[in-house]
């Protein structure tokens, strides 16, 4: 049972890293971006291809995945996303679906539709077991690694958001874009760097998750719904909301699949709808911000 909880936490942390960029960009620009999974896929493919073709070690690939996805994110933000911030939501949905379709088809074309496999280094392959019987805790080393990396990232993000000058600018822009701009904050630069950051984190998450979630060209479509659940349930105003939502989702998904495999993803969707009917703005909403 503890093992399931552990796996659920690892899965949830991974989802959080994948989705946090989406939460911030959605809260910041009120932009419904369904193409977020595409950045995660880019990160995943960068890692897989670098490891397979160039033989670069896994740990070096992770920052590269981050950089690649962040660069791509920044580029797309500047060229394609920016004109759409003030368009209706329907336009944004159409645009990002189109982008996702293109990403899926091009990945299929250039790399092939087969599932990619990540060769983990030796020291991440093992498994440690503690305790006995029903309370046995089996920890895959790789999952432990994921939790450690994601926890470090979360603490880092929280620090940046709460303590640094950039963080306060970002929070000001999220709360009220116009007033922030009026106070001399260059909102466009804040948007650009945040979008690139978010895409980079998604790329890193995709790289880390390639082994756990599987990586094939349909990745952006398959996991789009999960990212959106995290954001919709967690709310977009803080990063603790999405974190808790991601953990909840991860644990519910792993436990649901383990205990009631017949119902599969059913539980997660029902849970989401119930929560959203109960609290349409998400579970964790901060008062006072502009919604």
Partner 1 sequence: MKDSLNPLLVSRRWKPWEAVLWVVALVSPLMLPGHALIINEIAIVALFAVSLDLILGYTGIVSLGHAAFFGMGAYTAALFAKLVMPDPTVGLLVAVVVATVLGAICSMTIIRGSDLTRLMVTLGVGLILMELANKLDWLTGGADGLQGVVMGPVLGRFEFDLYGRTAAWYSITVLLILFVIARRIVNSPFGATLKAIRDNRLRAMAIGIPVTSRLAVIYTVAAGMAGAAGALLAQTTGFASLDLFEFHRSADVMLILVIGGTGWLYGGVAGAVVFKLMQDVISAITPQYWTFWIGLFLVVLVMVGRERLLKPWTWFSRGGKA
> Does 155 participate in binding partner 1 (rule CB under 8 A)?
no
Per CB under 8 A, contacts with partner 1 among 33-92 are 80, 83-84, 87, 89-92
- Per the structure block, which two tokens stand in for 8? 């659920």
Q: Alpha helices, DSSP H only, in 164-265? A: 165-175, 177-182, 187-213, 219-234, 240-259
Nearer to partner 1, 127 or 290 (CB): 290
Rounded CA-CA distance 39/225 in Å is: 15
Site track 178-217 with partner 1 (rule: CB under 8 A), x = hit: ----------------------------------------
114: left (phi over 0), alpha (psi -120 to 50) or beta: beta
Rounded (10°) angle between helices 141-163 and 187-213: 170
Which residue of 18, 19, 104, 201 would you call a contact of partner 1, by CB under 8 A?
Answer: 104
Which residue of 23, 46, 232, 245 would you call a contact of partner 1, by CB under 8 A?
Answer: 232
Bridge partners of residue 130, in order along the sequence: 137
Which residue of 49, 124, 225, 285 would you call a contact of partner 1, by CB under 8 A?
Answer: 225
Rounded CA-CA distance 16/171 in Å is: 19
Q: In the complex, which residues of this chain contact partner 1 (CB under 8 A)?
A: 26, 32, 80, 83-84, 87, 89-95, 97-106, 108-109, 221, 225, 228-229, 231-232, 262-266, 269-270, 272-273, 276-277, 280-281, 291
């Amino acid at each position: 049972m503890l093992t399931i909880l552990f796996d659920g936490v690892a899965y949830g942390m991974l989802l959080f890293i994948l989705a946090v960029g989406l939460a911030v960009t959605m809260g910041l620009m009120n932009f419904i971006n369904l193409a977020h999974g595409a950045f995660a896929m880019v990160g995943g493919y960068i890692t897989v291809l670098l490891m397979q073709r160039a033989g670069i070690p896994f740990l070096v690939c992770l920052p590269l995945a981050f950089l690649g996805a962040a660069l791509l994110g920044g580029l797309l933000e500047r060229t394609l996303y920016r004109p759409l911030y003030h368009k209706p939501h329907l336009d944004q949905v159409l645009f990002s679906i189109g982008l996702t379709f293109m990403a899926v088809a091009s990945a299929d074309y250039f790399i092939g539709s087969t599932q990619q496999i990540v060769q983990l280094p030796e020291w991440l392959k093992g498994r440690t077991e503690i305790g006995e019987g029903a309370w046995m805790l089996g920890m895959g080393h790789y999952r432990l690694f994921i939790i450690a990396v994601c926890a470090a990232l979360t603490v880092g993000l929280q620090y940046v958001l709460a303590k640094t000058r950039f963080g306060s600018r970002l929070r000001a822009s999220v709360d009220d874009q116009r007033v922030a701009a009026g106070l001399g904050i260059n909102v466009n630069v804040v948007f650009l760097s945040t979008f690139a950051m978010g895409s980079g984190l998604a790329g890193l998450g995709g790289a880390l998750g390639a082994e756990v979630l599987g990586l094939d060209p349909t990745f952006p479509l398959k996991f789009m719904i999960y990212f959106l659940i995290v954001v919709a349930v967690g709310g977009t105003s803080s990063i603790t909301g999405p974190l808790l939502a991601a953990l909840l989702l991860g644990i519910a998904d792993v436990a649901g699949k383990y205990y009631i495999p017949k119902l599969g993803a059913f539980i997660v969707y029902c849970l989401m709808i119930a929560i959203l009917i109960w609290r349409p703005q998400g579970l964790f909403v901060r008062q006072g911000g502009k919604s």
